[in-house]
C-alpha cells in the first residue's frame, strides 16, 4: 500500500512539473498531457487525421509533447510560411530517431544539421548532379528505363497478368537513381548485388518509419524493447559491406584510369563527385568515408523511395479519374 501511495505521489509531482513548465515557457495551446507519455495517446494510426482534429480544436499553432520530445504543430499556410521560409534557418535542425542516426552514420549529410558540410554538399549536388546540363545528359537513362517500364506493363496487359505497380515503380526509380549515383542498375533481375540493394532499400525505408518507444520515452532510451536496435545492427552490417565493396571497386577503377562513365555520356556520377572531394586535401570541406557512405545511402534509399511514393500516388489518382470520370462521359480520351 505504501508503494502505491509513493508511485501516485511521484506521478503527481511529474504532472505538476509538466503543467508548470508549459505555463512558464508560454507555449501554444495544447491538449491535456499525461505523465511520461505526454500526448502520444492522442495520435491515431492515421496521424494526419488525428493532428487535423486536434488543430481544429486547439488552433493552427499547437504544442504537443511526444514523450520526451517537444514539438509544435503548424496547420496554417501563413504560419507555415513563417516557419519554413522566414525563419527557416532557426527551424532547420531535425530530431533524429535511432534508426536514421545509426543507418546514416550518425546523421551524415544531407540529413545532418545545418552546417558547412551540409551547405557544401547541397551546393555540389545542385550544381553538378541536378543542374539542367547534367540532367539533360542523364535523359537517355530516364527514357530507357521508362520505356522498359511501359513495355513491361504492355506485355503484362496482353497476357492478362496482374502487375504489382508499386514494386515496379520502386524498381524504376531505383534503376534511374542508382545509375545517376553509381553508374549501375539496381534491378532484382540484373545481378546478385542489385537484388541485395533492392531488399536493403525496402528494409531501410521501413525501419525509418517504424515507431520506436526508445525514441520518445527517455527512460527507455538505452533499452531495446522492440528488438529494433538488433535489426539496425544487422541492416547496417550488410549495407556497410555492400557500400564498401562498391566504393573500393570504384577507387580501383579510378587508380587504373578506367572510365566507368561511358554509359552515361561521360558525365560524372555522384560517387565520382564525392570521391573527388574525399581525395582532394584542399577541398572546401573535408568529408570522411562515413560521410560518403551516408550520402550514398540517403540519396539511394530515401530519394528513390520518396519519388516512388509520388509516382504511385499519381498512378492512383489517374486510376481513380478513369473509374469515376469514364462513366460520366462514356469514354476516356
Q: Would you say residue 324 has pLDDT above 70?
A: no
Can you say whether the dihedral through the CA atoms of 275, 280, 285, 287 is positive or negative?
A: positive
Cβ-Cβ contacts under 8 Å for 90 (sequence gap 6 or more):
none
Question: Which of 195, 308, 239 is CA-nearest to residue 99?
Answer: 239
Average pLDDT over residues 238-265: 74
- Residue at grid coordinates 504492355: 154
- Judged by average pLDDT, the poorest of 127-131, 209-213, 269-273 is 127-131
Mean pLDDT, rounded, of the chain: 78
- Digit-coded pLDDT (tens) for 282-295: 777 777 888 888 88
Structural class in CATH, domain 116-319: mainly alpha
Average pLDDT over residues 53-73: 91
Between 310 and 247, residue with greater pLDDT = 247
Q: Would you say residue 310 has pLDDT above 80?
A: no
User: What are the domain boundaries of the chain?
Assistant: 25-91, 116-319
Task: Give residue 319's pLDDT.
Answer: 62
pTM greater than the 0.85 cutoff: no
- Digit-coded pLDDT (tens) for 84-125: 888 888 887 777 788 888 888 776 666 677 777 778 878 877
Triad 311, 317, 318: Cα angle to 5°: 90
Going by pLDDT thresholds of 50, 70 and 90, the confidence category of residue 61 is very high
How far is it between the farthest Cα atoms of the chain?
78
Q: Would you say residue 316 has pLDDT above 70?
A: no
Amino acid at each position: 500500500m505504501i508503494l502505491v501511495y509513493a508511485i501516485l505521489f511521484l506521478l503527481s509531482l511529474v504532472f505538476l512539473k509538466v503543467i508548470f513548465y508549459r505555463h512558464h515557457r508560454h507555449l501554444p495551446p495544447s491538449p491535456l498531457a499525461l505523465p511520461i507519455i505526454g500526448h502520444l495517446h492522442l495520435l491515431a494510426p492515421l496521424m494526419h487525421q488525428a493532428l487535423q482534429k486536434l488543430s481544429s480544436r486547439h488552433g493552427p499553432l499547437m504544442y504537443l509533447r511526444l514523450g520526451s520530445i517537444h514539438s509544435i504543430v503548424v496547420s496554417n499556410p501563413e504560419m507555415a510560411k513563417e516557419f519554413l521560409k522566414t525563419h527557416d534557418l532557426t527551424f532547420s535542425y531535425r530530431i533524429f530517431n535511432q534508426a536514421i542516426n545509426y543507418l546514416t552514420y550518425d546523421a551524415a549529410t544531407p540529413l545532418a544539421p545545418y552546417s558547412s558540410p551540409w551547405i557544401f554538399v547541397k551546393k555540389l549536388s545542385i550544381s553538378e548532379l541536378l543542374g539542367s546540363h547534367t540532367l539533360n545528359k542523364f535523359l537517355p537513362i530516364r527514357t530507357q528505363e521508362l520505356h522498359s517500364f511501359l513495355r513491361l506493363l504492355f506485355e503484362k496487359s496482353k497476357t492478362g497478368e496482374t502487375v504489382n505497380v508499386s514494386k515496379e515503380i520502386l524498381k524504376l526509380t531505383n534503376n534511374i537513381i542508382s545509375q545517376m549515383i553509381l553508374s549501375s542498375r539496381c534491378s532484382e533481375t540484373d545481378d546478385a548485388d542489385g537484388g541485395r540493394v533492392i531488399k536493403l532499400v525496402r528494409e531501410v525505408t521501413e525501419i525509418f518509419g517504424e515507431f520506436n518507444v526508445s525514441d520518445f520515452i527517455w527512460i527507455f532510451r538505452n533499452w531495446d524493447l522492440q528488438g529494433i536496435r538488433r535489426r539496425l545492427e544487422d541492416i547496417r552490417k550488410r549495407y556497410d559491406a555492400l557500400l564498401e565493396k562498391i566504393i573500393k571497386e570504384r577507387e580501383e577503377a579510378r587508380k587504373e584510369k578506367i572510365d566507368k562513365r561511358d554509359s552515361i555520356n561521360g558525365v560524372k556520377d555522384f560517387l565520382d563527385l564525392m570521391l573527388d572531394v574525399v581525395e582532394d586535401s584542399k577541398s572546401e570541406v573535408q568529408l570522411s568515408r562515413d560521410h560518403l557512405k551516408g550520402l550514398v545511402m540517403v540519396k539511394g534509399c530515401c530519394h528513390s523511395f520518396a519519388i516512388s511514393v509520388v509516382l504511385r500516388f499519381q498512378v492512383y489518382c489517374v486510376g481513380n479519374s478513369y473509374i469515376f470520370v469514364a462513366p460520366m462521359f462514356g469514354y476516356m480520351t
